[in-house]
Amino acid sequence: MTDNILEMRSITKTFPGVKALSDVSLSVRRGEVHAICGENGAGKSTLMKVLSGVYPFGSYDGEIHFDGQLSKFSNISDSEHAGIAIIHQELALVPFLSIAENLFLGNERKGRGGLIDWNRANGEASRLLARVGLSENPTTPIGQLGVGKQQLVEIAKALSKDVKLLILDEPTAALNDTDSAHLLGLLRQLQAEGMTSIMISHKLNEIEEIADTTTIIRDGRTIETFAMAGEAVSQDRIIRGMVGRDLDSRFPDRTSNPGEEVLRVEHWTVRHPQQDRLVVDDAGFSVRAGEVIGIAGLMGAGRTELAMSVFGRSYGRYQGGQIFKRGEPIQARSVQEAIKHGIAYATEDRKKYGLNLIDDIKRNISAAALDKLASGGFVNAQEEIRVAEDSKKSMNIKAPTVMSLTGKLSGGNQQKVVLSKWIYSDPDVLILDEPTRGIDVGAKFEIYTIINRLVAAGKAVIVISSELPELLGICDRIYTLAFGRITGEVQVSEATQEGLMSLMTRDRTPVRAGAHSASDATGTGTTSTTTTPDDTQEHSA
């Protein structure tokens, strides 16, 4: 079929001080996967919120025709009734409720007398889960699933509502490659069943892979819409539309010139905060001045847990291990101590751990280094503004002023505020956890440039990322982590995606079996793609 299921015409949406969308039009054909691309703050999420009734009819200008009808949704349930389901950039599941409870939240399966019929609910839940390829028990609490599976539950939830149009706002931002591939497969399968979907993503390879049509939005305007089939549309083509110019390379050049060792962590072992299991198991790594190291690992490998516990033991229960700063053993038992020793950690979850969303940009940027702005306990508010203005400029944060609330920024700009905060604290070692999650290609390049600037100034940077090409593009050395253990250390010149992947998926059993044949590898900077580093040895006995 070639008819359009959706026509959005001349949509204009303004927030106080911001024109988020001006005269945007979007047509989506029935049965296609339609991708929307654009830089951070371009207005993609806003457009989808207009479509799904988050911003009610009347709060924007323009017309929406859905399924042949002029639509005037005044809330989300209106659009759901019409057959539109949206999965927001941030997951909206209740961690303590079961899968089934989450699936039917607000849409409960009632039996006789208005009570919830749990048998029916769980039965239907199982069927929905099967449809998205999950084999979990519907009574499992959501919090016990990984992010990838949670994302699938979100889709199952949408499917339970009899949707015609599925909107996914950066569905794979928090997923690793395997989970992303699975999700894309599912989208294709739904497409075969006749579903139309709109997908927003900054991962252009995925868009190249799955989209039938792509619309590009820049600064709140539609730039172009093109079919992906026919003459091959390259990622560079999309990038050119997004940023308005050619981007020669994805990664800025850097001549790496590591100096002396700044930070070394040995035998780091951390227990889960509630459960009786090790999340980080005898891990060790080191990083030198002017060096970028990467930590690669699958979801749940313990990367964030390792980083956070090194950062003032802010995760789990410390079991053992030692940190050395420039060769000297140091104590970093609290975040304050860690910061004092020049360690900084920029979180992967900016909303939960990174920002005070009800406060403005400038105060968020100064939050980790208020002392630098204060004398005698009094904060110099004018200097604070100047600092924030500087960051806004150098990080290219898109916001009306530095007094704007961070809660109202687009995802990518929020990320830049988090980075600004830690860069302003002027650390020696900067741990960046998924620094480019949800960030557009142009901004990614900017962030890589910033990383380069930091290492050129003699800082040490540790990057945790699920995107292997990114690690390969910006790091000097990469450690792989699996089940809380360091399973390898590779110079980037000798690393390949396949090699890293096989180290990342190495599970416990072979490590144990082969541990005795391990060679020395940790901390020396040599390659160890095939052998196991010695710091796993003690656990083999």
Partner 1 sequence: MSGTGDLLSKGPATPPTSPHTPKTGTANPLVAMTQNLRTSGIYIAFVLVVALFALLTDGLSLSPGNITNILLQYSYVLVLAIGMVIVIIAGHIDLSVGSVVALTGAVAAKVSISGGHPWWVGILAALGVGLLIGAWQGFWVAFVGIPAFIVTLAGMLLFRGLTYYVLDNVSLSPFPAQYTKVATGFINGIMGGYGYDAFTLLIGVLAVVGYAVSQVRTRVARVRYDQVVDAMPLFILRIVLIAVVVMALAWQLAHSRGLPVVLIILAVLILAYSVVTRSTVFGRQVYAIGGNLAAAQLSGVNVRRVNFWIFVNMGFLAAMAGVIFSSRSNGAQPGAGTSFELDAIAAAFIGGAAVTGGIGTVRGAMVGGLLVGVISNGMQLLGLEQYLQQVIKGLVLLLAVAFDVYNKRRAGGR
Ligand X SMILES: Nc1ncnc2c1ncn2[C@@H]1O[C@H](COP(=O)(O)OP(=O)(O)OP(=O)(O)O)[C@@H](O)[C@H]1O
- For residue 164, the minimal CB distance to ligand X (Å) is 23
CA distance 470 to 118: 45
Is residue 304 close enough to count as binding Mg ion by CB under 5 A? no
Partner whose binding site includes residue 40, from partner 1, Mg ion, ligand X, none (CB under 5 to 8 Å by kind): ligand X
Q: Which of the listed partners (Mg ion, ligand X, partner 1, none) does 359 bind, with a CB threshold of 5 to 8 Å by partner kind? A: partner 1
Contact assessment for residue 247 and residue 445, using Cβ atoms and an 8 Å cutoff: yes
Alpha-carbon dihedral sign for residues 93, 167, 159, 174: negative
Which residues, 6+ apart, have CB-to-CB distance to 430 below 8 Å? 344, 346, 422, 423, 454, 459, 460, 461, 462
Provide the mask over 341-380, with x wherever binding to ligand X is found by CB under 6 A and - wherever it is not. Answer: ----------------------------------------
d(CA 248, CA 310) in angstroms, rounded, equals 37
CB of residue 411 vs Mg ion: minimum separation in angstroms? 5
Can you spell out the DSSP letters for 77-143?
HHHHHHTEEEE-SS----TTSBHHHHHTTTS--B-GGG-B-HHHHHHHHHHHHHHTT----TTSBGG
Q: Output the DSSP codes for 194-232.
A: T-EEEEE-S-HHHHHHH-SEEEEEETTEEEEEEESTTTT
Q: What does the binding site for partner 1 look like in residue numbers (CB under 8 A)?
A: 15-16, 55, 311-312, 314, 334-336, 338-339, 345, 347, 352-359, 363, 366-368, 370-371, 374, 377-379, 381-382, 385-386, 389, 401, 403, 407-408, 421
Structure tokens at 346: 């920029």
Q: Which of 412, 427, 442, 499 binds ligand X (CB under 6 A)?
A: 412
CB of 489 to ligand X, least distance (A): 34
210 contacts 188 by C-beta, under 8 angstroms: yes
Q: Which is nearer to partner 1, 371 or 538 (CB)?
A: 371
- Shortest distance (Å) from residue 304 CB to ligand X: 21
Q: Which is nearer to ligand X, 16 or 68 (CB)?
A: 16
Q: Quote the least distance from Cβ 24 to ligand X, whole Å.
A: 11
Interaction between residue 45 and Mg ion (CB under 5 A) = yes
Residues 415-454 that bind ligand X (CB under 6 A): 440
Question: Residue length, the chain?
Answer: 541
Residue 304 contact, options partner 1, ligand X, Mg ion, none, Cβ 5-8 Å cut-off depending on partner type? none
Binding mask 86-105 for ligand X (x = CB under 6 A): ---x----------------
Cβ within 8 Å of residue 259, ≥6 positions away: 288, 289, 290, 291, 458
14: β partners: 19
Distance, CA of 482 to CA of 479 (rounded, Å): 10
In which element (H, E) is residue 426 found? Answer: none
CA distance 456 to 453: 5
Out of partner 1, Mg ion, ligand X, none, what residue 182 binds, judged by CB under 5 to 8 A for its kind, is none
Distance in Å, CB of 314 to ligand X, minimum: 26
Among residues 455, 425, 429, 451, the alpha carbon closest in space to that of 324 is found at 429
Site for ligand X in 452-491 (CB under 6 A): none
- Of the pair 149, 398, the CB lying nearest ligand X is at 398
18 is a contact residue toward ligand X (CB under 6 A): yes
- Residues binding Mg ion (CB under 5 A): 45, 89, 411
- Residues binding ligand X (CB under 6 A): 15, 18, 20, 38, 40-46, 89, 398-399, 408-412, 440
